[in-house]
Amino acid sequence: MVEMAPCLRSDNQGCHRRHIPVVCAIIAVALFSGCGKAPPPIVEAEGIVRLDGAPLRNAEIRFFPTDDFGPEYVAKAVTDSAGRFKLMCKGQPGACAGENRVVVVEADLPAKLQGENAQLELAAYLRSLGGRPIPLQYGNLVDTPLKATVHAGQKEYAFDLTR
C-alpha cells in the first residue's frame, strides 16, 4: 500500500505540523519588520515664554511629541533672562516635527545655590526670577493647554501663560 503525503492524510496532523514554522516566520516578520512609525525629523524650534505678559526667565520648556518615540525625542530648553529659548533634541537644535504637547516647569537651581551655606543667595535668586510660582497646569503633561505643531516652515513659537 502507498502511504499518502502528510497533507493528504485524513487526520491532517502532518499538514498542521508542517505549517507551524511558516506561520511563526510570518508572525516574526510582521512584528520585527518596522511596522511602527519612524521618528519624524528634528527641525529648528525656538521662541519665547511669557507669564502674564512678562518674560518668564529660567524656566524649563519641554516639547513632547504626541506620538511617543521615547524619552530621547523630548526636546528641552531653559529660558534666558528675556524668556527666550532654543530647543535641543537628541543632541541637535530643534524639536520633532509634528504635534507636540508643551510643558513649562521650574528649571534646576544653579549648583552654587544648592548647598546649605547658600540660603541667602538662594533667596535673592528666587526673588529675582519674578512671576513665580509657575501655575501647575503648565507643568503637567496631561493638563497642559500648550501645544505646538512643529514644522520646517516655522522656527518661532510663543507661549503666553496666565495665572
Q: pLDDT tens, 83-97?
A: 999 999 999 999 999
Alpha-carbon span 68 to 101, nearest angstrom: 11
Q: pLDDT tens, 44-70?
A: 999 999 999 999 999 999 999 999 899
C-alpha cell at 129: 526670577
Q: Look at the block and give the residue holding cell 519674578.
A: 130
Phi, psi (rounded to 5 degrees) for 17: -65, -40
Please calculate the CA angle 22-28-30 and round it to the nearest 5 degrees. Answer: 105
pTM of the predicted model, to two decimals? 0.75
